[in-house]
Amino acid sequence: MDIVEEEFINPGTRMCAGCAMQLIYRFALKALGPNTILTVPASCLTVLHGMQGFCSTKVSVLHTPFATTGAAASGIVASLEEKGLADNICVVAFAGDGGTSDIGIQALSGAAERGTNFIYACYDNEAYMNTGVQRSSSTPLGAFTATTPGGKIRPKKNMPRILEAHGIPYVATANGSYPIDLYDKFKRARDIKGTRYFHILSACPPGWRFDPKDTIYIGRLATETGFWPLYEIINGKFVLSQPSKKFLDPAKRKDIEQYLSAQKRFSNISKQDIESYRNYIRDQWNEIKRRLENQ
Amino acid sequence: MTAAESTEKKKKVKILTGNHAAAYAFRHARVGVVSAYPITPQSPVVEKISEFIRDGKLKANFLLVESEHSAAAACCAASATGSRVGTATSAHGLMLMYEMLPWASGTRLPIVINLATRSCGAPWSVWDDHSDFITVRDVGWIQFMCEDNQEIYDTNFQAFKIAEDPRVFIPVIVAYDGYILSHTMMPIKLEKQEDIDDFLPPINHHINLSNISEVKGVGPVTTPNIIKRAEGTAPGYYEFRYSLQKALENSIDIIKEVHDEFAKKFGRSYGNGFFKTIKTEDADTIIFAMGSVSAQARTVIDKLRVEGIKIGLVSLRLFRPFPIKYLREFFKGKKNIIVFDRDIGYGYEGVLCYELKAALYGLKDAPFIKGYIVGLGGRDVKSEHIIQGVHKALEESEKGEISYKTEFYGLDLDKLDFLD
């Protein structure tokens, strides 16, 4: 696949060194192209977008309060429809995991239920990173955050399944360490009508506590251990993405301990929690297998 | 007038509730996007708008969202995308919208909210008072309170015209008493579409994200200080908020201009646009109130005048920006003002009362001002309450007494056993 050369993020943004989200945003915006209107809530993306008076992207962005991303996107779409411009302009909401799975879930659910014609992308760095690493419902089991100093005692919320239950035409997972897969999916989603949902794992060096040079490596481990499978659900049909296909075979998967031990946020994780991860991955892949065989 | 002309003239008068008057106003204002969530007593507004859209009488996009918070957020986004946008709500709905209200005014989005007023829980009450209306007084919106259904219809056109004026770009709340107006039918003169179009031309928005050739970042981070960079200068938060206050102060002139233009074109005026005066010319004592309380006070002026009290009524229409200059001019030389609040600033007193006291501060020979609380949670505001209040205030004025305790009329404490 040819990747568009034009960049839609201006140089000199203020992201942390090694932030996967910058890569995710860069490739997503390349795939979406110039006829796009963005909306973002309070999140690390607010930092990327910079100060009043400047725009750090080559397409317009509407900043909106934390809980409102799905509603703000709905408002933009409603106005474009009123003006007869909805077919030419793609409305895209980009929010973090807290803005999606916690405070923004109601507005997102409403927008999806209404079949709002937009793309919603959650970049999941698995905690409130912009406010200094507090737990969200997307923080994984055993992870240290500033508000779970003993490690989180519950597993993360499965947002793609929740969105799939809304009967929307497109749900996909992605991972900042697989930018071509991500680019390809945004290209495909752009041409589908209705609500399209992305859940993208975004490795975060300061929040996950690893060296910024290891971002791609850590992100890949998430998929290689089978913890973060890459897939699409297009009109109900489950499609396993190329990078994840070989992990249908459990023998090809790396052990989850490799992923967990590479990040200091899991440094105090219990043996029991590691076993829970192994069970979770096993059950997840049994479910994927079942789905692939029964459609 | 020919018979045909006479029928044509009659046809334009409809018997409508306050809620339906608001819905007709949205239709004739050609609102482009409505986003709302049902709440008593506002719901008939959005039900009627839904019917207009179904019947092809209003070509709007109606976004039925899952909460008022989302309704307000969607309104903000649709407005920033360049549409004429309105919604309607009450009490808890407005409370839930609260986060988006300073967002809308800070982004200078010309949205219009119709507010069928209702008390705020707990305990639950669907009935009328002005506590929702007064609670949002500091968020930077323009706020009108109407006294009858015709005023609701008329004020909406003025609201859009004021909000969308390039010298203003500030959102507006048009309020009216829940049930007392929202569900009461009155004859209303509906204007011809072409006349409304002439008064209220299509919106020319200062943001308009739908124009994608112009790249904009709307509402990003500001800092305490101005930042200068090669690409341009970023104002600080302080400068933004200063400009909102200045625009609100200046909007007084535009509100008057728009009111006067409407009056000239359609033959209906509402006092000076800021407040209405009833028998005030020779009066030394004035009742000060708004909405349904003013409507009740109108009925007692003549009774009190028979007693020899030189009394009149000022019914406040524009609550924000508070028309300080006009009120100071008007009250110069008056002896007594008796304020009836259908709201309360808990821990202080009625909000209208303390707003007026502040507005008249430092006036030479300032009038005696006394306030009462009436009609919270839909309790009837009776003529006798207003008459008793006036009598008591005049006695205290005579003696030069000032009470620091909030006084209520219409309470039935003696019927409650547990207070024995």
- pLDDT, one tens digit per residue, over A189-244 is 999 999 999 999 999 999 999 999 999 999 999 999 999 999 999 999 999 999 99
- Rounded to a whole number, what is the distance in Å from the CA of B322 to chain A's nearest CA? 29
- pLDDT, one tens digit per residue, over B358-370 is 999 999 999 999 9
The phi, psi pair for B177, rounded to 5°, reads -65, 125
- What is the span of the domain harbouring residue A212? 20-293
Q: Look at residues B141, B218, B163, B82 and name the one whose alpha carbon lies nearest to residue A65.
A: B218
Contacts B229 to A, Cβ<8 Å? 54
Question: Residue B3 pLDDT > 70, yes or no?
Answer: no
Question: Residue A246 pLDDT > 60, yes or no?
Answer: yes
The answer to whether residue A10 is domain-embedded is no
- Complete edge-to-edge strand list for the sheet that includes strand B285-289: B275-278, B311-316, B285-289, B336-341, B368-374, B408-409
Residue of higher predicted confidence among B228 and B408: B408
- Selecting from 3.40.50.2300, 2.40.50.180, 3.40.50.920, 3.30.2320.50, what CATH number does the domain B275-419 have? 3.40.50.920
How distant is the alpha carbon of residue B367 from its chain centre?
26
Question: Residue A270 pLDDT > 90, yes or no?
Answer: yes
Task: Give helix A179-190 / helix A20-32 axis angle, nearest 10°.
Answer: 40
Question: In percent, how much of chain B has pLDDT > 70?
Answer: 97
- DSSP letters, B392-408, are HHHHHHHHT----S--E
Mean pLDDT computed over every residue of chain B: 95
CA angle B334, B338, B341 (to 5 degrees): 140
> What ipTM, to 2 d.p.?
0.96
How far is B403 from A113, CA to CA, in rounded Å? 56
Q: How confident is the model at residue B392 (pLDDT cuts 50, 70, 90)?
A: very high
Domain ranges of chain B: 11-199, 275-419
Tell me the CATH architecture of domain B11-199: 3-Layer(aba) Sandwich (3.40)
The answer to whether residue A195 is domain-embedded is yes
Question: Residue B1 pLDDT > 80, yes or no?
Answer: no
The answer to whether residue A106 is domain-embedded is yes
- pLDDT, one tens digit per residue, over B285-341 is 999 999 999 999 999 999 999 999 999 999 999 999 999 999 999 999 999 999 999
How far is B344 from B114, CA to CA, in rounded Å? 21
Contacts B64 to A, Cβ<8 Å? 114
B173 touches chain A (CB under 8 A): no
pLDDT at A12: 83
How far is A59 from A68, CA to CA, in rounded Å? 20
The answer to whether residue A15 is domain-embedded is no
Question: Residue A1 pLDDT > 80, yes or no?
Answer: no
CA angle A24, A26, A27 (to 5 degrees): 70
The phi, psi pair for B339, rounded to 5°, reads -105, 130
> Does residue B123 have a cis bond before it (omega within 30 degrees)?
yes
Q: How confident is the model at residue B374 (pLDDT cuts 50, 70, 90)?
A: very high
The most distant pair of C-alpha atoms in chain A lies apart, rounded to whole Å, by: 58
- Rounded to a whole number, what is the distance in Å from the CA of A162 to chain B's nearest CA? 17
Q: Is the fold of B11-199 the same as that of B275-419?
A: yes
Q: Is the pTM of this model over 0.80?
A: yes
- pLDDT, one tens digit per residue, over B234-288 is 889 999 999 999 999 999 999 999 999 999 999 999 999 999 999 999 999 999 9
- pLDDT, one tens digit per residue, over B34-91 is 999 999 999 999 999 999 999 999 999 999 999 999 999 999 999 999 999 999 999 9
A159 three-class SS:
helix
Burial readout B387-405 (b: 16 or more C-beta within 10 A, e: otherwise): bebbebbbeebeeeeeeee
Binding-face residues of B in 233-262 toward A, CB within 8 A: 233-235, 240
Strand pairing of A170-175 and A118-124? unpaired
Asked whether the beta carbons of B68 and B89 are under 8 A apart, the reply is yes
Q: Which of B26, B31, B33, B233 to mutate to test the interface with A (most CBs of A within 10 A)?
A: B33
CATH, residue A84: 3.40.50.970
In chain B, which residue's Cα lies nearest the Cα of A106? B66
- DSSP letters, A190-204, are HTS-SEEEEEEE---
pLDDT at B403: 84
Of the candidates A35, A46, A71, the beta carbon closest to that of B74 is on A71
pLDDT at B419: 59
Per the structure, how many domains does chain A have? Answer: 1
Q: How confident is the model at residue A115 (pLDDT cuts 50, 70, 90)?
A: very high
B219, A63: Cβ pair inside 8 Å?
yes
Q: State in Å, rounded, how far the first CA of chain B is from the last one.
A: 68
